[in-house]
Chains A and B, each alone.
Chain A
Amino acid sequence: MRVREILGISRSDIEELSRKRGEPEWVTRRRLEAYDALEKLPPDPAVDEYVRSLDVESILAGTTPVEVDSELWELAVKRLGVKPEELQQLTGYSVTVDNRTIEVQLRALRERGVILAPMDEAVKKYSIVKDYMFRIMRPDTRLAAYHIMLWAGGVFVYVPEGVKLPNPLYGVFLITGEGLKQTEHTLIIVEDNASLTWVEGCTAPVKAKYSVHLGGLEAWVGRRARLDLYSVENWAGPVHHRPVKRMIVEEGGVLNATPIAFGGETILVEEAARLVGRGASAKLQSVALLTEKRWSESRLEVVHEAPGGKSEILSRVVVKDEAFDRFRGKLVAKRGAKGSVGRMSCNTLLLSEKAVSETIPALEVEDNDVEFSHEASVGRLSTEKLYYLRTMGFAEDEAASLLVQGFFEPIFTALPFDLAVEARKIVELALKGH
């Protein structure tokens, strides 16, 4: 389907956007590549329909200043398990409101060569960005192509060779007001032997009437480097969450990516990792608590392109009320990816008769010497366990909440401490009145 029909914009509108933003020529070119790709890619209703309602005019008009009052602020950072008064003590954080990155703080790490900068500036300031940006993420799906074409704002994170950051860096993404949109882009580069934990949280502190989040993230994990990535989505109100992520892992590198979804109205998460170096590993782990009439689809993919790689694609989802969940997992082994081991595992807990879950696993193997497996389980809360807890004095909804918390616990215990505390709180609140 043609871009003009969906968004009412032409190629020259894109050129105009890029010019107004003062972007280098290579950025314009990559936006246009995405425009051209969209002309050819098959339609994707879960994407097209929502992109259609993006406020493209305001994106094309460039940036407008935004202000966030302190209450919204506090709410937003709390969602990441950070107390507002502790914000200044964090090693580093950035805040993106709508499509503007309004604040970036980095403590003491600059001397070690760490960079945390607004993406809009980074494309002009750091030459290294050109080598990675939209080279890890290509316009190979409609979601990725829309994002590349329309991105604005976001952050650039760079960790130099051998620098291991013991504390997480944080990215806060806010949508304010109604009818607005977010197309921020995050680029993370973790050089050889370096390590980083990146915690990002998406939230709309005030219920938006209708918003689309079309954020994107690219990450490059160097040789024997490590990246732990946690994305917590807890939009309030009818926000349509459409994040797209692409990651590349080099020899001996380790990637852990955990998207956690609690809010929003419809959610489509697209994450793909390529293991390009020998012995690289990736774990993509989708976690969600879907309530009311939420609709969610997770598309997770790991492609083994080198020998001896290890991958896990995991999904742990609780579906309540009339919510819908679809999981599409894909493990691919390219020719030469000898000795690769991959595992896909889905655990779904249904809390009501009307809750729906679909699991669609796919394995593609071009090399014989590969060990791939997948397993799935869908269950309901056990009556025996509920009664057992009720005989301890827990009301039925409390008992259910305890069991659901237990279901998530293996994931939550592995989260950074403050985030785990907050995640448990969110689950507890969401289950109240079950």
Chain B
Amino acid sequence: MARLRVEGLHVKVGGREVLRGVNLEVGEGEVVYLLGPNGAGKSTLIYTVVGWEGYVVERGGILFDSRRIEGLPPEERAKLGVAAGFQTPPELEGVRVGVLLRMLVERFWGVSSLEALKLVSNFISMVGLPSSVLEREYNVGFSGGERKKLEMVKVLAMRPKIALLDEPDSGVDVDSLRGIGEAIRYLREELGTGVLVVTHLARLCRFVKPDRAYVMLGGRIVKSGGPELVKMIEEKGYSAVRG
């Protein structure tokens, strides 16, 4: 049974229809790639699933463990087990990385403060961030790569059932990519998280093999398939799936 099921989803942003009937599923412990050119609606899908302001569901629904969640506030969706790694997360001035992550781990993992600190430092080293990052203000003065890695740590800290990762591989070097791949593997294998990875570069494949893949164009899923679909897009580009 699918953990996350998106059914005939139509979404407007600023009065403009961006998603035009998206159907998609992610199951427990699955890694699913969502491919597509810029402007296809991939990020819109993520923002809509987490419940961000301004993403208006016109038709269709989002089901989490068979429960409709499109009417819930973002914090309720997070508590159910939906987490997202955003492309350009904001800076939180004065909020220390260590403090915020520890709070998350305490809540989502149900462990003591001390245990939480241990887990946080494990996650930090898993993605290849130095432990000194814990003392810094959240995302303040972080490079693009550092932000991507911190987003991954945040997702791990939330112990999600579904993780939606928006281009975790763009703007990061090969070493960082390895750490991010490691985190995705941990989600899938250790936590049984269903992971939807938005990407338009397939280089992440070297570190995490997808179970399935979707291709999105113009606000619709135009093709779905197995790992071979990723290979095909990599070789032939999106023209291969354009109608």
Residue A383, interface by CB 8 Å: yes
- Bound-state Cα–Cα, A383 to B54, Å: 11
Contact B94 A388 (CB under 8 A): no
Q: Which of A387, A395, A402, A410 contacts B53 (CB 8 A)?
A: A387
Contact segment of B2-10, B83-91, B215-223: B83-91
Contacts of A391 in B (CB 8 A): 50-52, 74-75, 77-78, 83-84
Taking the closest CB of chain A, its distance from the CB of B220, in whole angstroms, is: 25
Question: Would B52 and A387 count as touching, CB distance under 8 A?
Answer: yes
* Chain B contact surface mostly: mixed
Contact B100 A402 (CB under 8 A): yes
Please state if A388 and B75 are interface contacts (CB–CB under 8 Å): no
Contact B74 A390 (CB under 8 A): yes
Residues of B contacting A394 with CB < 8 Å? 75
CB of B82, distance to nearest CB on chain A (Å): 8
Q: Residue B238 at the A interface, CB < 8 A?
A: no
Shortest beta-carbon distance from B116 to chain A in Å: 14
Known: A388-B86, A393-B158. A406 touches B94 (CB 8 A): yes
Note all chain A residues with C-beta closer than 8 A to B100.
392, 402
* B108 in the interface (beta carbon within 8 A): yes
What are 27 inter-chain pairs, A to B, with CB distance below 8 A?
A: A387-B53, A388-B89, A388-B90, A389-B92, A391-B74, A391-B77, A391-B84, A392-B75, A392-B100, A392-B154, A392-B158, A393-B104, A393-B108, A394-B75, A395-B75, A396-B73, A396-B75, A402-B92, A403-B92, A403-B95, A405-B95, A406-B93, A407-B94, A408-B94, A409-B94, A409-B95, A409-B137
The answer, yes or no, to whether B59 is at the interface (CB within 8 Å) is no
A residues with CB within 8 A of B: 382-385, 387-396, 402-403, 405-410
A317 to B238, alpha carbons, bound, how many Å? 53
Q: Do A406 and B92 touch (CB < 8 A)? A: yes
Q: Are A393's CB and B79's CB within 8 A?
A: yes
Query: Are the CB atoms of A385 and B92 closer together than 8 Å?
Result: yes
Known: A392-B78, A392-B154. 6 other contacts (CB 8 A): A385-B90, A387-B74, A390-B78, A392-B100, A406-B95, A407-B93
A407 proximity list for chain B (CB < 8 A): 93-94
Q: Min CB distance, A315 to chain B, in Å?
A: 16
Chain A residues contacting B154 (CB-CB under 8 Å) are 392
* Bound-state Cα–Cα, A390 to B74, Å: 6
Q: State whether the Cβ of B136 lies closer than 8 Å to any Cβ in chain A.
A: no
Could you say which of A391, A393, A403 has the most chain B C-beta atoms within 10 Å of its C-beta? A391
- Chain A min CB distance to B50 (Å): 5
Complex alpha-carbon distance, A407 and B93, angstroms: 7
| B interface residue numbers (CB < 8 A to A) | 50-53, 73-75, 77-79, 83-84, 86, 89-90, 92-96, 100, 104, 107-108, 137, 154, 158
B contact residues around A395 at 8 Å (CB): 75
Say whether B78 contacts A393, CB under 8 Å. yes
Q: B51 — which chain A residues lie within 8 A by C-beta?
A: 390-391
Q: Are the CB atoms of B79 and A402 closer together than 8 Å? A: no
Inter-chain contacts of B94 with A (CB < 8 A): 405-410
Report chain B residues within 8 Å CB of A388: 86, 89-90, 92
Q: How far is the CB of A412 from chain B (nearest CB, A)?
A: 9
CB distance from B166 to the nearest CB of A (A): 12
Residues of B within 8 A of A385 (CB): 90, 92
User: A218: shortest Cβ distance to chain B, in Å?
Assistant: 33
Distance, CA A385 to CA B51, complexed state (A): 14
**How many whole Å from A138's CB to the nearest CB in chain B?**
39
- Find the B residue at minimum CB distance from A412: B94
Which residues in B have their C-beta under 8 angstroms from that of A383? 53
Report the Cα distance A387→B78, complex, angstroms: 12
For B140, the closest partner residue in chain A by CB is: A406
Return chain B residues, CB-CB under 8 Å to A390.
51, 73-75, 78
With both beta carbons as reference points, the residue of chain B lying nearest to A413 in the complex is identified as: B94
Contact of A392 among B90, B93, B104 (CB under 8 A): B104
Instruction: Tell me which of A382, A387, A396, A402 contacts B95 (CB under 8 A).
Output: A402
Residues of B within 8 A of A406 (CB): 92-95, 137
CB-nearest residue of chain A relative to B51? A391
A409–B78 Cα gap in the complex (Å)?
Answer: 27
Docked Cα-Cα span, A219 to B93, in Å, equals 34
Give CA–CA (A112, B95) in the complex, Å: 42
Assembled-state Cα–Cα distance A95/B50 (Å): 53
Give Cα A294–Cα B65 distance, bound, in whole angstroms: 48
For B52, the chain A residues whose CB sits under 8 A away are 387, 391
